[in-house]
Copies of this chain bind each other. A is one copy, B any other.
Amino acid sequence: MAFSFTVTHNDTESRARTGLLKLPHAEVETPAFMPVGTLGVVKAVAPETIWEIGYRLILSNAYHLYLRPGHELIEDHGGLGRFMNWPGAILTDSGGFQVFSLAKLRKLNDKGVIFQSHIDGSTHLFTPELSLAVQEALGVDIIMCLDDVRAYPASKTDATDAVKRTFAWAARTVDSKKKVDPALFGIVQGSMYPDLRRLSAEGLTSLEFDGYAIGGLSVGEPHELMVEIIDATTPYLPEHKPRYLMGVGKPLDILESTIRGVDLFDCVLPTRNARNANLFTSSGRLNIRNSRYRDDHGPVDSDCGCVLCRNYSRAYLRHLFKENEILGLTLATVHNLSFYYQLMSDIRAAIRENRVNSLLKQYSSRTEEIND
């Protein structure tokens, strides 16, 4: 059996749990964060560096790789892991969200979604079967079902349609799956309607997926509403299967979601912020372009053991950013991904010791500093 998930500890004070996810290419301790490698590369960082930080599972994207360079080309190279020289495991998003957020002229029907490429305007039909085939060709560890994603806010009629179609597509994906090894996850939709979330979760659970994702959040809704919807969803997902909150998020979002029983996360925040000179530190976020760091001999974060914080001063990193030197982007990304890796380690340790609520209090008290 290439895929398994074991809950290794249940927090006594919350729904948080630690787990061990066994995938064809790696074992992953959960709760875990996945760095985003949309185009077959985590922006600005070599895969061996991602591995050295400690990550064993990254996220990539079926929509993007289907368009360029093409999934057949990557399959021909022995799969995405070989193509990008990543020895660990990969989860690919199905393309549902990208067609919704990037493509032009999206037309949904029961068969699938017709869209124009954001690159060259060419027209494509993405079906649940094609998204599955693309992901199987990529040879990834976790495949996501194509889902019907709607804008926020969505009317209840709209959201209901999306739940129904997402369920129908999920059932077709299960029926079409050819490869045994990769795990298949269904995606819960239902916008901000708790009853629709429950409906979606219960429907998908009947299909016996290897794991369940919560989609359609972090799309512009207030933090409290997001937390409310997670609260209304995880109780209807099976205890012994991994739960993945898509596209989330800030450290506090992650912490509040783990307390509600979420196991997996991905977000562009650490990597994108890094490229914008915005660094996460144990005492708050900082923008390294700020003139206050001009002559600052100290490391970005004295609590951090990453290659940036071990070897370079704030003044040097600021110099690199001021001069638009590429190395600045690389070092900042390595740092932010190290911060997130440490965050997840801290969360796992706290869960094991049944003190995740006090960790949450600690982070909540500095919301403005590191969560804005």
Chain A positions within 8 Å of B, measured between CB atoms, are 39-41, 43-46, 68-69, 73, 76-77, 83-85, 294-295, 297, 307, 311-313, 315-316, 318-320, 322-323, 325-327, 329-331
The answer to whether B326 touches A85 (Cβ under 8 A) is: no
The answer to whether B77 touches A315 (Cβ under 8 A) is: yes
Give the contacting residue for A322; candidates B44, B69, B320, B327; CB below 8 A.
B69
Copies of this protein in the complex: 2
A43 to B294, CA, bound (A): 21
Distance to closest chain B CB from A218 (angstroms): 25
Task: Give chain B residues whose Cβ lies under 8 Å from the Cβ of A68.
Answer: 319, 322-323
Distance to closest chain B CB from A85 (angstroms): 4
The answer to whether A39 touches B325 (Cβ under 8 A) is: yes
A77 to B69, CA, bound (A): 45
The answer to whether B295 touches A43 (Cβ under 8 A) is: no
A44 to B329, CA, bound (A): 9
Distance to closest chain B CB from A45 (angstroms): 7
The answer to whether A83 touches B43 (Cβ under 8 A) is: no
Known contacts A83-B316, A295-B76, A312-B85; A327/B69 CB under 8 A: no
A69 to B297, CA, bound (A): 13
A85 to B326, CA, bound (A): 16
The answer to whether B77 touches A327 (Cβ under 8 A) is: no
24 of the cross-chain contacts (CB-CB < 8 Å) are A40-B316, A40-B319, A41-B320, A41-B327, A43-B325, A43-B326, A43-B327, A44-B326, A45-B327, A46-B307, A46-B327, A46-B331, A69-B318, A73-B294, A76-B295, A76-B297, A77-B315, A83-B315, A83-B319, A85-B311, A85-B312, A85-B316, A326-B329, A326-B330
A207 to B46, CA, bound (A): 49
Give the contacting residue for A316; candidates B84, B319, B331; CB below 8 A.
B84
The answer to whether B69 touches A319 (Cβ under 8 A) is: yes
Apart from A69-B318, A83-B319, what are 13 other A-B pairs with CB-CB below 8 Å? A39-B325, A40-B316, A43-B327, A46-B307, A46-B327, A69-B315, A69-B319, A73-B294, A73-B295, A73-B315, A77-B315, A326-B329, A330-B330
